[in-house]
């Protein structure tokens, strides 16, 4: 370590570290989305870094899965960014947000399952703060415009979105929901929850 | 081990083992329901057995939490057994089942959180097979009698019950739902999900 430090100027080392971290997160997202049991060694190999380097950045498989999930949610949130969420009627915007959220969650379903195995649900939810803010803004607008119910707490309705879409991922993985069933089931479930007169 | 075996007849050893297992499961349920981070050593001590004995029955903390959860769900399921679930109108029966399920889940909320930290959601769900059969029977009856919707798969409606009541436990623990809020929120949420015309 000291030897390398002596040979390499600091900015180059920092750039190396950043490149390695980016490669590890990309490889982790790809491998865990295919197989939730992918090992640290598999991910290091796919990222083209040594295990020692990987453990230098992520001291345990749990820390690695945590970082990969955070990275994947960041990528997903960029996909969900869409100005018409703020303008089209709230029920239509909700159906569209559900469909695009499901599309991206389904693609990374096994990464979510890998996270579910090693992280508390509360931690997984923390990583979803940015997309859940979009959900919250949309539900709040729907309530304000009279399309969505106001007899249940706003925070609880946001939680049901998180909970129901992740349940769908479990059901899909367990084969209890078919590939083509999920979208209409999610839209029907969430819209009847949001629009029912309590 | 061999020495003990020579001294003690087999049935006595088996009875000892059964007594130890029962004491470990009871202590585990009590300690983990108070503190989800309770250690194996704490649970062994409270059960009045040595750590070696405990590890002889449960080779890891994960295996112990898994067994304690199974034990607790068995106790809970006995509480939920109630013939009027099969006779009173389905919406009223559902409200009552939600209230009694929440009462028992709330009491063991931290045990559920301990399980959530070390077990996959799919595994936690497997442990709930018996109470979820009650939920399924009631929803099926409500559909048959015209009280509950039939435009969503029965299995999915059962999943939403499991998912929503466990989300409420997370929300309660995180302080996002108050103690008195949970019951009415659960009943309103689940009944509007079950009775909405999709």
Rounded Cα gap, residues B22 and A183, in angstroms: 45
Question: What is the total count of domains within chain B?
Answer: 2
What is the SS3 string spanning B98-161?
HHHHHHHHHHCHHHHHHHHHHCCHHHHHHHCHHHHHHHHHHHHHHHHCCCCCCCCCHHHHHHHH
Do residue B41 and residue B8 come from a single domain? yes
Contact between chains at B193 and A189 (C-beta distance less than 8 A): yes
Structure tokens at B162: 């499991």
Contact between chains at A121 and B116 (C-beta distance less than 8 A): yes
Digit-coded pLDDT (tens) for A81-111 = 887 888 999 999 999 999 999 999 999 999 9
Rounded Cα gap, residues A159 and A128, in angstroms: 11
Structure tokens at A69: 């999930």
Do residue B45 and residue B90 come from a single domain? no
The set of residues, in sequence order, having a beta carbon less than 8 Å from that of A24 and lying 6+ positions away, is A43, A44, A47, A49, A54, A57, A58, A64
Per-residue pLDDT of chain A (198 residues; tens, 9 = 90+): 444 555 667 777 888 899 999 999 999 999 999 999 999 999 999 999 999 999 999 999 999 999 999 999 999 898 888 878 889 999 999 999 999 999 999 999 999 999 999 999 999 999 999 999 999 999 999 999 999 999 999 999 999 999 999 999 999 999 999 999 999 999 999 999 999 754
Structure tokens at B25: 């499961």
Give the DSSP per-residue string, B46-100: HHT--HHHHHHH-SSHHHHHHHHHHHHHHHHHHHH--GGGGTS-HHHHHHHHHHH
Do residue B101 and residue B174 come from a single domain? yes
Do residue A131 and residue A189 come from a single domain? yes
ipTM: 0.89
Residues of B in contact with A149 (CB under 8 A): 192
Rounded Cα gap, residues B157 and B190, in angstroms: 9
Give B196→chain A minimum CA distance, Å.
6
Q: Considering A59, A89, A109, which residue would you say is the last residue of a domain?
A: A59
Give A7→chain B minimum CA distance, Å.
44
Contact between chains at B152 and A181 (C-beta distance less than 8 A): no
Is-contact A165 A76, C-beta < 8 A?
Answer: no
Do residue B88 and residue B54 come from a single domain? no
Contact between chains at A151 and B113 (C-beta distance less than 8 A): no
Nearest to B167 among A159, A171, A192 (CB): A159
Do residue A121 and residue A72 come from a single domain? yes
Do residue A98 and residue A74 come from a single domain? yes
Contact between chains at A177 and B171 (C-beta distance less than 8 A): no
Is-contact A116 A169, C-beta < 8 A?
Answer: no
CATH number at residue A127: 1.10.357.10
Do residue A145 and residue A80 come from a single domain? yes
Q: What pLDDT, on a 0 to 100 scale, did the predictor assign at position A1? A: 45
Do residue B35 and residue B73 come from a single domain? no
Do residue A123 and residue A182 come from a single domain? yes
Do residue A80 and residue A112 come from a single domain? yes
Contact between chains at B153 and A181 (C-beta distance less than 8 A): yes
Cα dist from B102 to A49, B96, B182, whole Å = 48, 10, 8
The reply to whether A179 touches chain B by the CB within 8 Å rule is no
The reply to whether B124 touches chain A by the CB within 8 Å rule is no
Q: For helices B182-195 and B90-107, give the axis angle rounded to 10 degrees.
A: 140
CATH number at residue B31: 1.10.10
Do residue A109 and residue A169 come from a single domain? yes
The reply to whether A136 touches chain B by the CB within 8 Å rule is no
The reply to whether A167 touches chain B by the CB within 8 Å rule is yes
b/e map A61-92, b = 16+ CB within 10 Å: beebbbbbbebbbeebbeebeeeebeeeebbe
Which residue range(s) make up the domain with B75?
62-198
What is the SS3 string spanning A36-66?
CCCCHHHHHHHHCCCHHHHHHHCCCHHHHHH
């Amino acid at each position: 370590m000291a030897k390398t430090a002596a040979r390499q100027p600091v900015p180059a080392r920092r750039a190396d570290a950043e490149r390695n971290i980016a490669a590890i997160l990309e490889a982790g997202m790809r491998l865990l989305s295919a197989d939730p049991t992918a090992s640290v060694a598999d991910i290091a190999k796919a990222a083209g870094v040594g295990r020692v380097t990987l453990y230098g950045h992520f001291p345990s498989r749990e820390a690695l899965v945590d970082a990969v999930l955070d990275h994947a949610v960041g990528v997903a949130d960029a996909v969900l960014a869409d100005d018409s969420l703020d303008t089209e009627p709230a029920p239509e915007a909700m159906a569209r947000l559900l469909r695009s959220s499901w599309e991206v969650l389904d693609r990374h379903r096994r990464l979510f399952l890998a996270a579910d195995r090693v992280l508390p649900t509360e931690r997984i939810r923390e990583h979803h703060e940015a997309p859940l803010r979009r959900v919250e803004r949309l539900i709040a607008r729907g309530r304000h415009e009279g399309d969505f119910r106001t007899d249940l707490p706003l925070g609880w309705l946001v939680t049901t979105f998180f909970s129901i879409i992740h349940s769908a991922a479990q059901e899909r993985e367990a084969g209890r929901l078919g590939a083509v069933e999920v979208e209409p089931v999610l839209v029907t479930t969430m819209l009847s929850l949001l629009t029912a007169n309590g």
